[in-house]
Amino acid sequence: MRPLGAINEWLAARWPFSEVSRLVLDEEIAGGASFSYSFGSAVLTVFAIQAVTGIMQLFFYVPTIRDAYRSVGYLHTEVPFGWLIHGLHYWGAQVIIVLMLVHLARVFIWGAYKTPRELTWVAGVGLLLVLMAFSLTGASLPWDQKGYWAGQVSTSVAGVIPIVGSAQKILLRGGQEMGQLTITRFFGIHVAILPLAFLALFSLHIVAMRRFGSAGPWEENKRKLKGPFWPDQVFKDSIVAAVVFVILLTLVVFLPYQFSGPANPFDTNYVPKPEWNFLFLYQALKYFQGSLEPVGAAGIPGLLIILLLVLPFVDRSTERSPFRRPLVLLCGFAVAAAVTAFSLAGYLSPGYGTTADAVKTGSSSSGPWKLTVQAVRSTDTSASDGDTNSGSGAAPAGSDATGPSVSGEAGEAAYVIGSAQRGAMLFNDQCSGCHGEAGKDGLPNPGSVSGSVPVLNPIDQALLSREPTVFAGNIDRVIQHGSLPEGSPSIAMPAFGDDGTLNQQQIANLIAYIMALNGVDRAMITNPGIRPVTFYLVTLGVFLFMGLILAGAWSRRSAEPASEDQARGNK
């Protein structure tokens, strides 16, 4: 104990620990601690989780248009607890905005933004904008379909703003078009500029808040009683933090991140939709068309920001009770209702996920190629060559090799997590003509030994594997390089990849769909560390156990009269 004391003393003489801890912890809360004041601290807790998971992702993610998506897929499925890191960051980004809005609504209803707390409010509005910018730049970083198109649309929206618009757009994109410089810029903004901006505004926010203390209840007489921030409020905050953490984990485990497939700038039937927190703007823009577009693009967000910023300067009465500020409250709720209504309308409007069109066009299309024999690489000869280079990549050792023999390496698509949903649309369009709807039948193939085109659902046992990358590689080689059935078939599988009929993104989506038809999830987590559901139960167990111990300790303490509580009241 003694050397520790000496170190403490030495440090205390050189750094103002007690002053700092007093600044952070010693605060009188008017009216005492309350759960309703916990939302700001909950935002901070989630921000801490975002910071840690963000830094963890920096050890795996690369901001390049070729590899960003693959690096995210690798982290999520092949690195232990990658699903947890990526999932927490993804869901944390949603939850933090919800908490921020609840915090804002709480301060608004309590009238806590009023003089002398204007600066606290303004810094808080700044923090909300920083979070929105985090959300916008972060969504594009995986360079998946969803993120690519969100970035495409948001920078276009920024581009229609009068005067500064086009400069703003090319500065954000790093050029006229979305590309490598876009992802690098979004990355730089997301991991360097915004965290610094957040910390700066957070310091402003918290110091300004401490300057005048917590506003407390709106009733004057309730404010006379004081309670300490530490530990009373911190204890309540910690309970809220635990609840928020469990909610976050529930989302991560039971609504896992959906891979939307690699970004495909040439996908013409993708209807991009922004993240939920930008849906109101997306929807509102639909009502401002042509020359009015700039009004929507700049006017609506601009107006909302200005309304928030000027609120404490316009609403100057000292009355804090929500029941005696009907006009302000009404305006606030009207704005909130409008934003919610626009968001809902945007959410319900048609977009990504509507497969009705694809189903309609599917049966009418027999594919872009003619049903004639195509010269594809014959694999019978390669085996008898006896050359020493005949290794066929990740051939499934131990499997029955009597299936369609295909040579050639797996293409890029084999290592990319495609979207089965996008793949389904493409399959209807390109593949169902021969392989039947959902791959269930094969068209007759006169002249071939088997007599028909292979059924893909269920797929040939030689291609099937429980290991996603192996299975994907097996399917990939057939789609990339084609296949010639044994005999003298009238139909051969074209080399969709080699002849450029399909790009790698499309092939990745098709692979994901064909795997899904055979009961294998392309995005399966192959190295979870601990299975998500198990981890979830462990977490609940830890909290339950801790709760029981704390409850036990609490009940022992209550055996004695609450002398401490009385002392607190007198203070």
Partner 1 sequence: MMSDENHAGLSDTNHKISPGTIKRRGFLKIAAAAIYGSIAVLLGLPFLKTLITPAVMKRSRFSKVAELSTIPVGEPVDIHFSAPAQDAFYHDQAMHTVWVLRGKNGSVSAFSPVCPHLGCHYDWNNKARQFQCPCHASTFAADGTVLGGPAPRSLDTLPHRIVNGALYVRWVDYTPGIPEKVAV
Residues 369-428 that bind partner 1 (CB under 8 A): 383, 386, 388-395, 397-402, 409-410, 414-415
The one among 52, 170, 455, 524 contacting partner 1 by CB under 8 A? 52
The CA-to-CA distance between both ends of the chain, in Å, stands at: 33
Q: How would DSSP label each residue in 473-487?
A: HHHHHHHHH-B--SB
- Does 557 interact with partner 1 (rule: CB under 8 A)? yes
The one among 51, 133, 206, 242 contacting partner 1 by CB under 8 A? 242
- Does 16 interact with partner 1 (rule: CB under 8 A)? no
3-state class (DSSP) for residue 560: coil
In the complex, minimum distance from the CB of residue 245 to partner 1, in angstroms, rounded to a whole number: 5
Residue 250 neighbours by CB under 8 Å, 6+ apart = 536
Of 119-127, 171-179, 433-441, 539-547, which part binds partner 1 (CB under 8 A)? 539-547
Instruction: Give the phi and the psi of residue 28 in degrees, each rounded to 5.
Output: -90, 130
115, two tokens:
């003089």
- Does 536 interact with partner 1 (rule: CB under 8 A)? no
Q: Show contacts with partner 1 in window 264-283 (CB under 8 A).
A: none
Distance CA 505, CA 262 (A): 6
Kindly tell me which of 296 and 528 has the beta carbon lying closer to partner 1. Answer: 528
Kindly tell me which of 88 and 431 has the beta carbon lying closer to partner 1. Answer: 88
Q: Find, among 91, 138, 124, 291, the residue nearest to 215 by Cα.
A: 124
Longest dimension (CA), the chain: 98
Kindly tell me which of 293 and 409 has the beta carbon lying closer to partner 1. Answer: 409
Of 110-118, 240-248, 316-324, 347-355, which part binds partner 1 (CB under 8 A)? 240-248
Of 167-175, 200-208, 369-377, 529-537, which part binds partner 1 (CB under 8 A)? 529-537
Q: Show contacts with partner 1 in window 103-132 (CB under 8 A).
A: none
169, two tokens:
């757009």
Kindly tell me which of 71 and 277 has the beta carbon lying closer to partner 1. Answer: 71
CA angle 533, 536, 537 (to 5 degrees): 90
Q: How many residues bind partner 1 (CB under 8 A)?
A: 75
Q: Show contacts with partner 1 in window 491-510 (CB under 8 A).
A: none
Distance CA 146, CA 175 (A): 21
Q: Show contacts with partner 1 in window 439-478 (CB under 8 A).
A: 470, 473
Kindly tell me which of 75 and 128 has the beta carbon lying closer to partner 1. Answer: 75
Of 119-127, 500-508, 517-525, 559-567, which part binds partner 1 (CB under 8 A)? 559-567
| 3-state helix vs strand vs coil in the chain, percent to 5 | 60, 0, 35
Distance CA 564, CA 31 (A): 17
Kindly tell me which of 257 and 535 has the beta carbon lying closer to partner 1. Answer: 535
In the complex, minimum distance from the CB of residue 234 to partner 1, in angstroms, rounded to a whole number: 5
The one among 16, 116, 188, 231 contacting partner 1 by CB under 8 A? 231
In the complex, minimum distance from the CB of residue 250 to partner 1, in angstroms, rounded to a whole number: 14
- Does 295 interact with partner 1 (rule: CB under 8 A)? no
- Does the bond joining 195 to the residue before it have cis omega, within 30 degrees of 0? no
Helix residue ranges, H only, 26-175: 39-58, 68-78, 82-110, 118-140, 145-159, 165-173
Q: Show contacts with partner 1 in window 54-93 (CB under 8 A).
A: 56, 59-60, 67, 70-71, 73-74, 79-82, 84-85, 88
Residue 335 neighbours by CB under 8 Å, 6+ apart = 304, 307
Kindly tell me which of 365 and 378 has the beta carbon lying closer to partner 1. Answer: 378
CA angle 475, 481, 485 (to 5 degrees): 80
3-state class (DSSP) for residue 66: coil
Kindly tell me which of 157 and 410 has the beta carbon lying closer to partner 1. Answer: 410
In the complex, minimum distance from the CB of residue 236 to partner 1, in angstroms, rounded to a whole number: 9
| C-alpha distances in Å from residue 10, one per residue of 3, 7, 242, 532 | 10, 5, 36, 46
- Does 565 interact with partner 1 (rule: CB under 8 A)? yes
